[in-house]
Structures are given as C-alpha cells and as structure tokens.
Amino acid sequence: MHEKHISDSDTLAVSNASPNTEFHPLFFDPDADITLQSDDGVQFRVRSAIMTMSSGFFKAKLGLPGNPVAQAPIMMTEPGHIIAALLSIIDPQFGISQFDHGHIWDILKAADKYDMPSVMGTLRHLIGVHSRAGDTDPIKTYAYACRYGWEDVAKAASTRTLDTDLSALSETEISLMDTISLFRLQKLHRSRGHALIELMDIKAEEGSSHLVFHRCGNKERPYRYLFPCCAVRGRSHFWILAKHIVLREMEKCPSGRTLRLEEFWNRPELTPLWEIRLHPGCNCGIICMVFDKKGTMQEVLRMLDSDHLPVTV
C-alpha cells in the first residue's frame, strides 16, 4: 500500500474566518456542521459525517476529543478548486462532472494525502479512460499508476510512452518514477529496438519470422529462384549500417513511428543499399538482386508489427 506522509503543516488547524473569504456556491449545506477553508480563502460548509465516512484522515482528526465542530473553519493547504473536486466526488449531490479534469493529478495527490479510497477509485477509472483516449500525459500516467499499484493503467500507459525518447525526459519527469518503475520502462523501450534488430538478421528460409530477403528485392523473384549468394547481402556492411541506423531511430522513438515515413528510408546514409549491385560473395553478377527501398521498408515494418516486439511493461 502506498505510504502517506503528512507533515505538521498539513495537519488540520482551525482559525477565525478571514475577511477576504467567500463561500463556495455549490457547497453551502444549511445542515452542515463544519466549515473547510482552502488556502485561497474559499469556504465549504459540509457535513462532518460525509467527511469522516469518506476520509481516513478526517475520521481520525474529527474524532479527537475536544475537536471544535461548527465553530472556526478548518484550514486546508489546497486551493479551492481542488477541495471542490474532492467534495464533488464524495458528495452524492454532485459527481465527477463538477470538476475540471485538467487538475486530475493535483486532485489525485490530495485524495491520497487525505486517505480517500472512494476518490482514489473514481480517479483510477477516470485516468484509465482518459489515458486510453490519449488525453493524459503518458509519463505522468505511467508514474502515478505504478505508484498506486494500478498495473492495468500502467501497462496501457507504458505503450503510449513508446513515442517518447526517455533520454530527453526532464529531472522532474524522471523523479515521478521510483527506480523499479523507471527500469521497467527503460527495459521496454530498449528491448523493442534490440528485438527488431535481431529480426533484421536476414534469413533464407521460407516463412521465417526474420526479415526475408526475397521480399526486399528489386525484382519479383520466387523464393525457389533466389540465388544463395543474394542472401549474403545480409552480412554486407551496407546492411549492417542500415541496422545500426534503425536501432538509433528506435532508441529515440521505440514505437517505430518514424520508420513508417518514407523520409527515413530516403536518408543519404542508406542510398548505397538501393544502388550497389555487386557485393562481396556475389556470384550472379548483374542479375543479383538489389535491395528495393519500398520492399525493404515494408518488410521491416512487418517485423515491427509482429508479436516478437513487446508493447507493454
């Protein structure tokens, strides 16, 4: 279970209302017996029963002997829109539509701080839905899902991180993840590139899970008519260079999205692959097959989309 640490400055305090405070129009229950006050001066009239049923933190604090009720406001360290979001989830009169989902991470941290399991459950569902729709930051989603043990959300988010270069993350983004979570994500990103490069070792067998050269050639040539020396191209320095270029691209974008663009295959470093006919070990001379740009691209993408590359942590 995620361990919560609440400092002395976070504990509940009571204070006389400031002359600059105002009541939130949606949370002014005439039957309320306590008042919460945000750090920006917004007050909320709520029932202590709802707070104690919904929050382990409030249950412990409001249950203390001599704790003032229905007197001075209880001071909170969060801004009004975060308090309003928490209350909208736990109060049956409202619901999740009452808050701005753009603040979902701050709401999540507050719900964790005040030990509100029902709010955490609601936010888990919302974050999962928004993540699958592509509406949340994948790194944040993965980090918080790992922190709270939401493995299904973490797995889905890890797939969405594959368009991200982890080496370009800021210190703030990296600090969201613990060591194990970061390692798992790095392993996923790294293993995709290595798996693809291994599959790019050219094989001459029909139906191979590896890249098959006769599908990359510049001529329509059935497998049975493929010259043995043609397959040797897979050991040429031109193909080895191509594999290194692909690996570098996969390190920057492990989803392989950029490999689907013709611009990648038009790089000048790859030009010799499409033009050089003779190569060491060639015995068929001018009739030897040359790598075809479009055919090679399609064959590499077949490897990329295969089940041999992992897609989640």
**Residue 93: CATH number of its domain:** 3.30.710.10
- Residue 56 pLDDT > 60: yes
Short-list 123, 21, 113, 126, CA closest to 75:
21
Could you give the dihedral angle defined by the CA atoms of residues 38, 43, 44 and 45, in that order, rounded to the nearest 10 degrees? 140
Does some domain include residue 182? no
pLDDT of residue 30: 85
DSSP for residue 176? T
pLDDT at site 1: 46
Instruction: Provide the domain limits for residue 104.
Output: 8-115
Of 115, 146, 180, the residue at which a domain comes to its end is: 115
Average pLDDT, the chain: 84
List pLDDT tens digits, range 138-197. Answer: 999 999 999 999 999 999 999 999 999 999 999 999 999 999 999 999 999 999 999 999
> 99-103, 108-112, 183-187: lowest mean pLDDT where?
99-103
H/E stretch holding 26 reads: strand 22-28
Identify whether the C-beta of residue 312 lies closer than 8 Å to the C-beta of residue 264.
no
Residue 141 within any structural domain of the chain: no
The reply to whether 144 falls in a domain is no
Residue 174 inside a domain? The answer is: no
Pair of tokens at residue 171: 């210190």
Two tokens, residue 125: 């569902």
If you ran DSSP here, which 8-state letter would residue 217 be given? Answer: B
Q: How many domains does the chain have?
A: 2
d(CA 23, CA 9): 23
Give Cβ neighbours of residue 36 (< 8 Å, ≥ 6 apart): 43, 44, 46, 73, 74, 76, 83
Count, residues in the chain: 313
Q: Distance between CA 253 and CA 261 in Å, rounded?
A: 13
Residue whose pair of structure tokens reads 């009571």 in the numeric block: 14
Domain presence at residue 95: yes
Q: List phi, psi (to 5°) of 46.
A: -135, 165
3-class secondary-structure state, position 34: strand
Q: Is residue 145 part of a domain?
A: no
C-beta of residue 164 within 8 angstroms of C-beta of residue 139: yes
The encoded tokens of residue 251 equal: 């390190």
